[in-house]
Every structure is written in structure tokens, then in C-alpha cells.
Structure 1
Amino acid sequence: MRAATFFDGEGWRGGTLSVHGDRMLLASGSPASDLPRLDGVIVGGFTDHHVHLQLVEHTRLDGSRLGRVVDLGANPDVVARLAAHNSSRIAVGPGESGRFPSKSADLEELRTPTAGRATDVEYAGAFLTAVGGYPSDRSWAPTGSFREIATAEDAVAAVAEMADAGATRIKVACNSSAGPVLDDDLFRTIVELSSLRGLPVVAHAEGPGQAQRVARLGARSLAHAPFTEPLSDAEIAAQAASVSWISTLAVHDDAGRAIAVDNVRRFHTAGGAVQYGTDMGNGPTPVDLNPRELDALREAGVDGPALLRALAPVDPLDPASVLLLLPHPTSDPIDARPLKV
């Protein structure tokens, strides 16, 4: 047993680290004064709040520094099975419901989750978009990864389908730069239906005025920090009071990146909640922490404890958590390594 310092999601705390079989478990509390101290500090596996697992080699998550990922656009049947296979907190067998739905043909595969280094997967399921809207015309969009919404009845069916598939949020695409977008009434309908299911709406807002529009209509989060245009300070303040932003700064070209970084800098200063996300799968992105995204966040002033909060480490006190070792509290998260027995 060793004395240890760990990050609890908000700040640094003291605890003890002990070995139980092939796992290391952390407990909070003041350690005995005579305990040897761990050389380094502990964090839970980090969260990437914007990934597309159908567009990457998702098996590479095993052994990464990511303890949780949030898929924001995929065929719901496919991503539900990926979630079940990767979760460190379930076991699915014949006659068991598990945490996520599964098909009978996959029960044997899903019976035992990936041991020790599993990355939990949350997901939105399919993009909900206007008829002919983004990403319905994109060659990269997997079969079944979007639903075109023309009427309120379509919205009812789509939200129910995603909720029943195990979604933890609903993804709505409003990209006026690429095609038609949902009108205000349909967007509000989706927000209301999602709220009845306890699911927040995450919006892809792209094109002039779209970030402000989706926030006004009830989106709880933006899938990308606004990059189409600089927001005014008043718009930034309103956004900081109502929505969170998923960063995805490094995925843009130079012009979009500069706009997004400046918007995030002012949003963060205004007290807005910034979440680390990379749009993993949009181009050649690592299936792990992305150093370019971390650099861009630091450029926007999100650093130190604020950067760790944006990375939303999973609870290190959870016995199923992936534990990472950092050299010291001020270390770059990219220096984190799996804590081994």
C-alpha cells in the first residue's frame, strides 16, 4: 500500500493505493504517515467527448489513455455493440440485459468485456438532420448513421429509436454551409422529445448564426466550439450561461482554428464549460489523446486544473476505472501512462 495524490474531477486529493489481484485500487482519505508515497499522481482515464468509432480502428482504444469516449454520429446498432464490447462495467450473457442492447448473435462475443483496459463508450446514435442536410450527402457517413427529419412524426420516431438503442444524448446537425437545416419548430420539437427521455441535445452548428440559433432553441452542448465566425462578447456571455462547448480545435484549417481558439479563449474567461473533444475519425486522428488538441486548448487559455476538468477523467475511485500516472500535478496530460501493478 502507498500514499497517493489523485485528481477527483475538480482538484487534487489524498488517498491510498493498494494492489488487489491484478488491479490497483484507489481509496480516498488521509494515508498513514509511515506509508511510502507513490512517485507521481493519479488521474482516471480521460474523456474524448467527440469521436466517430466507425471511422477509426476502435480496437486501438484498448491500452490508450482514454477511459471514456462519446460517439457523436454512428449507426446506432453498430455503436451499441461496440459500447457493450468495450465497457468495463458490464458482462452480457444469455438471458441478461446488460447495460447496452445487444443482438443474440453477439452474446458470446460480449459475454466478457475487454479485461482491465476497457474504454467506456457513450453515444448519440445517428445524426438527426434536415432532408438533404449534412451529413446525408457525405461519402464518409456510414450506412444508418443519419436520420432525415421532415415532420414532427419523424422526430418522434428518431428520438425514440436512439433512446431505445441506449443513447445518452441526441445529436442534431445544423450545417447551413453544407445544405438545408431543420427549422426552429422541428429543432424545438427534438429538444422537447429528448428532454422527456432525459437526453440532452448536442448540436453540430456550422454556418453564420447557427451557434447562436441552436443555443437559443435549447441545445445543451455544441459538438464543435464555434468556428464559422467570431462571436461577440455578448454572444459569448449568453453561450457561457446556457451551453457547453466541445473543443475540436485541431481539426480545422488555419482560419477556422484561429476563430475557434479566440472564441474558446473568451468563452472560458466568461466561465463557460469547455469539454475536450477531437472529432476522432475526421481525418488522420490518433485513437488516444491528441497532442494537437491539447496544444490548441492551452493556446486558448485552458490549462492546468481547467485542462484536466475539460478532459473529464473518469472517477479514479471506481474499481473499474483505468488509472493513469502523471509525473506531478502540473504535468502535461500527454505524459500520463497506465498505472501498472
Structure 2
Amino acid sequence: MRAATFFDGEGWRDGIIDLVDGRMLLREESPARDLPHLDGVIVGGFTDHHVHLQLVDRTLLHGSALGRVVDLGANPTVIAAYADAARFVSVAGAPSLNERQDAAPRPHNQQHDTAPRSLSERSETKRPHPVAVEFAGAFLTPVGGYPSDRDWAPEGSFREIAASAAADSAVAEMADAGASCIKVASNADAGPVFTDDLFRAIVDTASARGLPVVAHAQGSGEAQRAARLGATRLAHAPFTERLDDDEIAAQAASVAWISTLSIHDADSAERVTAVDNVRRFHASGGAVLYGTDMGNGPTPVGLNPDELAALRDAGITDTALLRALAPQDPRDAASTLLRLPGTDADPTLARPLTSADLKA
């Protein structure tokens, strides 16, 4: 048992961490004065708000500093199976008796064997990764819109929508699969985009199912249009153009931005524009969420140091950076527990807490 300082998502708190039935559990409680204090601080597993698990070897997430990911574009049947496979891992780290044993269909042209394994296979390999998976399901896009013409888009990962009836059907399909949000493609640089009326229809249908809309907004004016039409998150910090201060203020009051700054080359005009937009958006009180577009090129499967460095360049540091990483609540028994050297430490120094830490 050790006294511990932990991050609850907003600030630092005091608590006690103990080993109970083979699991480390944290509870918020004032420790006795003579209780030894754990060196460093405790945070929950971080969140990557923009990933594409069908494009990476998701098993590499095991043991990373990520405790949760949000997939923003995948075959809904496949990604729902991934989410179930993670959900049914017991907090002790072994598959529960109720875990699904049926394997998901293998993604089209996927290089890695990413289908969930049978219970016996999982037992042989100890456990699958325990990272929680939330998802949007398929991209909703106009006929011929992005990413329908992209070779990297897995089979079944987009739905081409021509009218409101098709939009209603697609939203219902994603909701029934277990989606936590709806992804709308609004990329005017790569093809057609929805009319205002059809975009609003998707937002209204999603809202009726309790699902926010995340928009891939790219092209002149698309970020402003997506926000005006009811999207509550942008899948990428705007990089097509520099938003003026009034546009920044309006965005800060209505939407959250998922960063994805590191998808742009370090010295590119797109990155310079995106970092500048994020700096002013954050200064205006806008909510910036850590996200990497994992799977877009050779991105790390885990915490991305380049993304963190870009966020710091945009003035998001210390506690604000931790909030952007949206760590799980470490008081939740199902959360990944991470140990950091200190409250102002670089998040890349976070590592999973082990029972040996309580003995040091």
C-alpha cells in the first residue's frame, strides 16, 4: 500500500493505491501521515481520439500508454468485434468466461491478422490488449466523395449517401453496431461534399440517436461550414487555411478539435497553419483533444511523441496537455494505470504501473 498523487481528469488529488486480489486499485482517500508515498504520480491510460485500427497491427497497443482509442472510419462489423474483444477482457487481464469466441471477418487487403482470436488462442498468448475501443463505424460521404476512391479504405468502411433516406439508414446501422459518434466526410479537396440540407439531416438523425457528428472538414471554408451545420467535433485541426480571430472564437464556442498535427510534415505550410490555428483556438478556450490519425502513414501504434511536441508548439502544456490526452479515471478498476515521474513530466515518460512499484 502506498499514498499516491493522481490526476482525476481536471487536477491533482491525493489517494491510496493498493494491491487487491492481484490487481492494483486506487481510491481517493486521505492517506495516513506515516504511509509511504509512491514516487511519481498516477494517471489513467491516455486517449487517442482519432485512429484507424484496420490499418495498423492493433495488438501493438498492448502495454502502451493508451487506455482508450476512438476509431473514426472502419467497417462497422469488424470494428464492433474489436471493441467487444477489448470490452470482455477482465480487469485482471485474462479473458472472462463470457468473452466472445467468434472471430471477426478479416479486413480486405489487411496485412496483419487482426481478427479476434478464440478463447483458447487468447489463453495461450496470455491476453489481448486491454485498450478500450470506441468507434464511429463507416465514413458517411456523398456519392464519389472521400474516401471512396482511396485504396487504403477497407471494404465496408464507407457509405455513399445520396439522399436523406440513405442517411437515416446509415446512421441507424452505425448506432445499432454500437457507434459512439458518426463520422461525416466533408473533404472538398478530394471530391464532392454534402449539401447543407443533407449534412443537417445527418446531424439531426444522429442527434436523435444521441450520437455527436465528427467531421473530416478539408477545403476552403469547410471547417466553418461543418461547425455551422452542427458537427460537434472536427476530426482534424483546420489546416487548409488560417481562420481569422472571429472564426476561431466561433469555433471555440461550439466544437472541439482533434489535433492530428503530426500528419503534416514538420516544415509544411499545412502544419504551420494548423499549429497557428490550434494555438489561437486553445487561447480562446476551445477544447483540443489529442488525436493522431493512427494508420495514416507509418504512425506509431501507441503514444505519438511528434503529436505531443506539436501540441506543445501550439502552447498546450502541463495540465492542459494532460486534459487533451483525456486520461481514464484511475479510480475506475477497469482503467489502465500509468506512472509518471512528476506532475509536469513529459507524457511519453508514462509507463504502466506494476506491483513492483509498490515495493520500491
TM-score range for the pair, normalised by the shorter chain length:
over 0.9
From the superposition, tell whether residues 103 and 277 of structure 1 become closer, same or farther in structure 2 (CA, over 3 Å).
Answer: closer
Structure 2 residue identity aligned to 1:118:
P
Give the Cα separation in 1 of the matches to 2:229 and 2:162. Answer: 18
Equivalences for 1:175-186 in 2 at 5 Å? 175-186=187-198
Distance 1:213 1:171 in 2: 15
Q: Paired residue for 1:121?
A: 133
Q: Which residue of 2 aligns with 1:233?
A: 245
Distance in 2, matches of 1:144 and 1:300, equals 36
Give the distance between the partners of 1:340 and 1:82, measured in 2 at CA. Answer: 26
Q: For residues 223 and 50 of structure 1, what CA distance do their matches in structure 2 show?
A: 7
Deviation, 1:115, is: 4.7
- Native 8 Å contact 2:85 2:116 kept in 1: no
**CA–CA distance in structure 2, aligned partners of residues 231 and 121 of structure 1:** 32
Residue 53 of structure 2 corresponds to 53
CA distance in 1, matches of 2:67, 2:170: 29
Find the counterpart in structure 1 of residue 207 from structure 2.
195
Rounded Cα–Cα distance in structure 1 between residues aligned with 2:116 and 2:44: 29
Matched residue of 1:250: which SS? helix
Looking at structure 2, the residues matched to 69 and 111 of structure 1 have their Cα atoms a distance apart, in angstroms, of 24
Distance 1:119 1:106 in 2: 14
SS of match in other structure, 2:35: coil
Structure 1: 5+ residue stretches without partners: none
In the alignment, the residues of structure 2 paired with residue 110 and residue 222 of structure 1 have an alpha-carbon distance, to the nearest angstrom, of: 41
Q: CA offset at residue 84 of structure 1?
A: 1.1
For 2:161 and 2:27, locate their aligned partners in 1 and report how far apart those are by CA, in whole Å: 48
Within a 5 Å distance, the mapping from 1:139-158 to structure 2 comes to: 139-158=151-170
1:55 positional shift: 0.3
Report the equivalent of 2:318: 304
Name the residue aligned to 1:132: 144
Q: 1:222 aligns with which of 234, 256, 280?
A: 234
Give the length in aligned residue pairs. Answer: 337
Checking the alignment, whether the CA contact within 8 Å between 2:145 and 2:191 is kept in structure 1 is yes
Letter in 1 for 2:30: S
Q: Give the whole-Å Cα distance in 2 for the aligned partners of 1:238 and 1:339.
A: 41
CA drift at 1:220? 0.4
What is aligned with 1:315? 329
2:184 equivalent in structure 1 = 172
Residues 85 and 109 of structure 1 are in contact (CA less than 8 Å); yes or no, is this contact kept in structure 2? no
The answer on 1:40 being equivalent to 2:40 is yes
Take 2:80 and 2:104, find their aligned partners in 1: how far apart are those partners? 10
CA distance in 2, matches of 1:48, 1:4: 25
TM-score of the aligned structures, taking structure 1 as reference length: 0.94
The Cα offsets for residues 298-329 of structure 1, whole Å up to 9 and x where unpaired, read as 00001000000000001100111110000010
**How far apart are residue 21 of structure 1 and its match?**
2.7
Distance (whole Å) between structure 1 residues aligned to residue 146 and residue 65 of structure 2 = 31
Q: Residues of 2 paired with 1:215 and 1:110: CA distance?
A: 47
**Offset of residue 146 of structure 1:** 0.1
What is the root-mean-square deviation of aligned Cα atoms in Å?
A: 2.2
SS of the aligned residue for 2:263 comes to coil
Q: For 1:117 and 1:336, locate their aligned partners in 2 and report how far apart those are by CA, in whole Å.
A: 17
Q: Distance in 2 between matches of 1:83 and 1:228?
A: 33
CA distance 1:64–1:107, shift in 2 (3 Å): closer
> What TM-score does the superposition give when structure 2 sets the normalisation length?
0.89
Superposed counterparts of 1:199-278, under 5 Å:
199-253=211-265, 254-278=268-292
How far apart are 1:29 and its partner, in Å?
A: 1.6
- The equivalent of 2:7 in structure 1 is 7
- Per-residue deviation, residues 253-274 of structure 1 (Å, max 9, x unmatched): 3111100000000000000000
Give the letter for the 1:6 counterpart.
F
Is the 2:86–2:128 contact (alpha carbons within 8 Å) kept by the matching residues of 1?
no
Equivalent-residue separation in structure 2 for 1:316 and 1:269 (angstroms): 28
